[in-house]
Each structure stands twice: as C-alpha cells, then as structure tokens.
Amino acid sequence: MSFQVQEYFPGVWHIRDAMGVCMTLLAGDREAVLIDAGYGLEPVRPLIASLTDKPCRLILTHGHHDHALGAMGLDRVWLHPDDLPVYRTYTARAQRQAVLASAAEKGVRTDAADYLTALMPEPEAETGEALELGGLTAEIMPCPGHTPGSLVVYVPEYRLLLTGDDWNPTTWLFFPEALSVADYLKNLRALLADCPFEHALCPHRTALYGREAVEAFLSGLTPECLHRAAPSPEGQAKGVRTGRAVPAPGQELVFDLDKYMEKKT
C-alpha cells in the first residue's frame, strides 16, 4: 500500500493517499469510523483492516471526488443529504477520467477500467450525531461552507477537530456549490465559538495544527483583507474568476470574486 499513516493520538490515524489527500481513521474499543476515503485509486478496506479489527463505517465530510471516490466498492457510506448532488457530480465518469489523467501525470497507477466502472454506494443521511466508539467519541457536526453539506468532526477526548475542506491552510471556496464568503465565515465563526477544540487535522495537509492557526485564518479574513485579494488562476478551469486573500502568514482563501461582490461580508 502506498498510504502514509501517522497516529497522532491513540486510535486517531491521519492517512495520506497516493495523490496527497488525507483521511482520518478513529478507532475506539467497540467501533471505528473512517472520515473521508481519498481518491479511491487504492482500496481503503485493507488499509482499515491493517489498523483496526473493529467494525468501521465511512462518513464523508463532503461529496468531492478527492474525499468520496474512495467509497467505491464499499457497501455503505454516510453523507449530509445537502451534498448528494455534489457527490453524484464528482463521482461520475467524467470526474473519474480527470482523476485518472492527473494520476497518470503523478505516476500513480490503478486499473483504469475498474476505476471507471466501480459502483458507488448510495449515501445514507448523516445530519449530525455523537458516535460513541468506546472510549472515543466522534461528534459529527454540519458546517456548510466549502459545500452546502460540509461536515466537521469533533473528538472531545483529545479536543481534536477534523475540519474537512472547511479549513485547510489553503482553503478553496470557489466551486459553484460553495457558499458565499459571508455565509461561510458566519458558519465557521459559530463553530469556533461553540467548539473548544485545541488541535486540528485537515484533509490537504499531514500536519497537526493548533487552534491558533484556524483562529488566525478567521480573524485575518477582514473586509480589507478580502478587498485586497489578488486575482488567482485556480478557478480558470471552471470558468470562475478567483481571488486569493492572505489572512495570515502561510494561509490563503481562494474565493469566487463575482459571488463575493454580489454578497459582501
């Protein structure tokens, strides 16, 4: 297997797949839950079995291909219902072909025919709950922003937040399904006010972050900072005019400039 696995707390593994996106496995005494599943170029079932012998369910923070396609071939998956259209679009054949092309560029091999035809499970509704895994709790919480049905996960035993794509040091908020910057910031600020996390793991980095990194990101995203955003190329492929704001050293928010002008913070 080409997964890179790091255990940050007992029963908490942050796992990077061959394409560079991360998922997180939480395993208690009775049950386990995998949060996100990567691109699916390599099956996650043997990976889970190598780390825990407990029954494991898969919950997706949102429906994008780099989190959801790893569910291919599995029987069950849970997702917020508001992300069902996202899941259908981003796990469809056209997106898989795009993933195969970028995998080939990176030298990541898979069986292309299998990858294009593998069935995706029909997601079951996950709207927020506390999963008691046995000595470890996964509190699933909706936090719309990066997508309408984005979920985050809080592990109170370690004061750990799994942010999904609602926060990465480089956060993308320009896909058509993303909320406006104003609504995204409102929801993320409410999360910070309610959730006493001290540590954060995000899908697009392997490192463990402190709460202060997320706080610096949010407090730096002032109207002035957003106004100063420089045009950036990320949205070109989707025909979206994007800007890049820098709220803190080493952190960026890439957002849809036109959507932002329609509904300013």
**Which is nearer to Zn ion, 32 or 161 (by Cβ)?**
161
CB of 90 to Zn ion, least distance (A): 8
In angstroms, the CA 86 to CA 68 distance is 10
β partners of residue 153: 140, 162
Q: Are 77 and 124 in contact (CB under 8 A)?
A: yes
- Nearest CB to Zn ion, comparing residues 31 and 83: 83
Min dist CB 255 to Zn ion, Å, is 14
Say how many residues make up the chain: 265
Q: Given the complex with Zn ion, which of 146 and 199 has the nearer CB atom?
A: 146
Nearer to Zn ion, 82 or 165 (CB): 165
CB of 183 to Zn ion, least distance (A): 16
Nearest residue (CB) to Zn ion, 31 versus 165: 165
Edge-to-edge strand list for the sheet holding 160-162: 129-132, 137-142, 151-155, 160-162, 199-201, 209-210
Q: How far is the CB of 149 from Zn ion (least distance, A)?
A: 11
Closest contact distance (angstroms) between CB of 165 and Zn ion is: 4
| Angle ∠(188,222,154) on CA atoms, nearest 5 | 15
- Chain residues in the site for Zn ion (CB under 5 A): 64, 165
Nearest to 3 by CA among 28, 26, 23: 23
